[in-house]
């Protein structure tokens, strides 16, 4: 340790100031009571000795605090990510440690502080969770520990763990959560059960009947030939192209519980495309605003999901009007095979839909198109309240008008043969996966 570090790493605690304040009080009172002067001097000398002793205990050569920050190399956006701080006491006494974690600026938290006491040669674990709501790089500052001896007059600073940068990706923690939907016979959204309609009719093989098989699939010719009851088995159609189209225009900047509609769409897109790959279909991605962004051709090769994850990682909302004409021209030029196009966007009014409807109709003439857009949850809450004054009545009337327009948008899209999903941000992932599996069961994908 250099001489400079004895100064830069040394801090004075409140207890030392209280001790000095008491000494000053003794000396002031000794002007009125002379017999207190000697006691004041003894108290001051005693305080100085304690300070020197405390300094020696803190800066002894072998004493230190070792620490480690345990954090994943990448964090999941919109989910609780666990962080663990491991501290080990290298001093020969019970140390009081104040931990200051320098969190990334995205969290806007400057007072993260934990205080604990660690026995000699013992370790302590501090756990906390972070919920990032934006994608990108997050820079954690050095983990600082301020150590006090049992005297508690001075503090010594240690840099227990170095700075580290981690990346926040779209919610990959939700992938396993929704994988079950791809293998069950029924779909669920919350506690509401949704019936799957139909089943795939792509023939796979003929097998012996076992209890539980659908009697409608009995193969009577094979049964007569073998003498055993035989049934046909079917599998989902495979190798179909599924593209997720994500609108990055200004309409997707609308916030909801700390995240934008674009962030919710990216999380849902990642979960959906994971299910698409599990169903042996080809997954692709296109982002756009006033111009085309990322284009990841539909494929189901190894590493495709990671390629999509990297493509979604740095997507940002742009404050421009989305150009659906450019999108349509790009799709006609790049994609020749009929595909399932799931478009994440947001229409608030019929007029906003009317401007883009000609391009959506032309797109639907070549592909199976499903538009995913969002309910305004605030307007829904207003719609469900009972106003108690004239202003409240006006506000509720306007909210009902906007809610009515959303429903009209769904009807208008379906009238032109375009599928539509009107959902809330918190139900987005489940609803789009349900829609894909339903279309898959109906042999539409």
* Long-range Cβ pairs for the range 46-51 (8 Å, 24+): 47/19, 47/20, 47/23, 50/19, 50/151, 50/153, 51/16, 51/153, 51/154
* pLDDT more than 90, % of the chain: 54
- Could you read off the pLDDT of 246-284 as tens digits, one per residue? 999 988 988 887 889 999 999 999 999 999 998 889 999
pLDDT given at position 395: 78
Q: What residues pair up with 416 in beta bridges, in sequence order?
A: none
Q: How confident is the model at residue 127 (pLDDT cuts 50, 70, 90)?
A: very high
Q: In this predicted structure, what is the pLDDT of residue 108?
A: 87
Enter the pTM of the model.
Answer: 0.75
Would you place residue 316 in the very low, low, confident or very high pLDDT band (cuts 50, 70, 90)? confident
Q: How confident is the model at residue 235 (pLDDT cuts 50, 70, 90)?
A: low
pLDDT value, residue 68: 92
pLDDT at position 238: 66
- pLDDT band of residue 288 (cuts 50, 70, 90) is very high
For the chain, the average pLDDT equals 87
Q: Among 147-156, 181-190, 199-208, 353-362, where is mean pLDDT lowest?
A: 181-190
What does the pLDDT average to over 420-431?
A: 91
Going by pLDDT thresholds of 50, 70 and 90, the confidence category of residue 362 is: very high
Residue 400 has a pLDDT of 81
Res 194: pLDDT: 46
When pLDDT is cut at 50, 70 and 90, the band that residue 318 belongs to is: confident
Q: What pLDDT score was predicted for residue 182?
A: 59
Higher-pLDDT residue of 328, 213? 328
180-200 residue pLDDT tens = 655 554 454 443 444 444 455
- Does the pLDDT of residue 103 top 90, yes or no? yes
Which conformational region is residue 3 in: left (phi greater than 0), alpha (psi within -120 to 50 degrees), or beta? alpha
Q: Strand 113-118's sheet: what is its strand order?
A: 10-12, 154-161, 143-148, 95-100, 113-118
Residue-wise DSSP of 73-101: SEEETTS-EEEEEEEEE-SSS-EEEEEE-
Residue from 256, 376, 246 nearest 322 by CA:
246
Binning pLDDT at 50, 70 and 90, where does residue 62 land?
confident
Q: What pLDDT is recorded for position 387?
A: 78
């Amino acid at each position: 340790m250099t001489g400079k570090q004895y100064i830069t790493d040394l801090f004075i605690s409140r207890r030392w100031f209280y001790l000095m304040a008491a000494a000053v009080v003794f000396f002031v009172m000794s002007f009125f009571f002379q017999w207190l002067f000697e006691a004041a001097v003894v108290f001051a000398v005693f305080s100085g000795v304690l300070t020197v002793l405390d300094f020696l205990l803190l800066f002894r050569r072998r004493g230190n605090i070792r620490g480690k920050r345990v954090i994943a190399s990448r964090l999941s956006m919109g989910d609780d990510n666990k962080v663990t701080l491991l501290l080990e006491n290298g001093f020969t006494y019970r140390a009081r440690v104040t931990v200051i974690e320098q969190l990334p600026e995205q969290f806007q938290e400057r007072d993260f502080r934990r205080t604990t006491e660690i026995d000699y040669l013992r370790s302590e674990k501090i756990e906390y969770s972070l919920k990032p709501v934006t994608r990108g790089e997050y820079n954690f500052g050095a983990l600082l520990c301020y150590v006090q001896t049992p005297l508690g007059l001075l503090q010594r600073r240690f840099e227990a763990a170095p700075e580290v940068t981690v990346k926040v990706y779209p919610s990959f923690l939700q992938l396993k959560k929704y994988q079950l939907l791809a293998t069950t016979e029924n779909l669920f959204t919350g506690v509401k059960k949704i019936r799957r309609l139909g089943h795939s009719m792509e023939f796979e093989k003929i097998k012996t009947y076992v209890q539980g098989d659908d009697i409608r699939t009995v193969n009577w010719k094979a049964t007569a030939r073998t003498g055993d009851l035989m049934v046909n088995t079917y599998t989902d159609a495979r190798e179909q192209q599924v593209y997720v189209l994500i609108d990055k225009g200004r309409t997707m900047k609308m916030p909801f519980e700390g995240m934008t509609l674009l962030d919710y769409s990216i999380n849902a897109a990642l979960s959906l495309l994971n299910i698409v790959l599990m169903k042996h279909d080809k997954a692709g991605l296109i982002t756009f605003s006033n111009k085309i962004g990322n284009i990841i051709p539909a494929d189901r090769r190894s590493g495709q999901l990671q390629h999509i994850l990297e493509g979604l990682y740095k997507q940002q909302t742009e404050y421009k009007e989305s150009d659906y004409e450019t999108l349509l021209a790009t799709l006609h030029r790049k994609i020749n095979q009929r595909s399932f196009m799931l478009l994440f966007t947001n229409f608030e009014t019929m007029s906003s839909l009317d401007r883009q409807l000609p391009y959506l109709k032309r797109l639907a003439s070549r592909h199976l198109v499903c538009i995913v857009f969002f309910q305004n949850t605030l307007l829904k809450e207003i719609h469900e309240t009972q106003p108690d004054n004239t202003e409240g009545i006006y506000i509720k009337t306007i909210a009902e008008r906007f809610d009515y327009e959303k429903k009209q948008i769904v009807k208008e899209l379906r009238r032109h043969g375009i599928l539509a999903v009107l959902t809330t941000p918190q139900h987005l992932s489940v609803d789009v996966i349900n829609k894909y599996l339903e279309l898959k069961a109906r042999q539409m994908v």
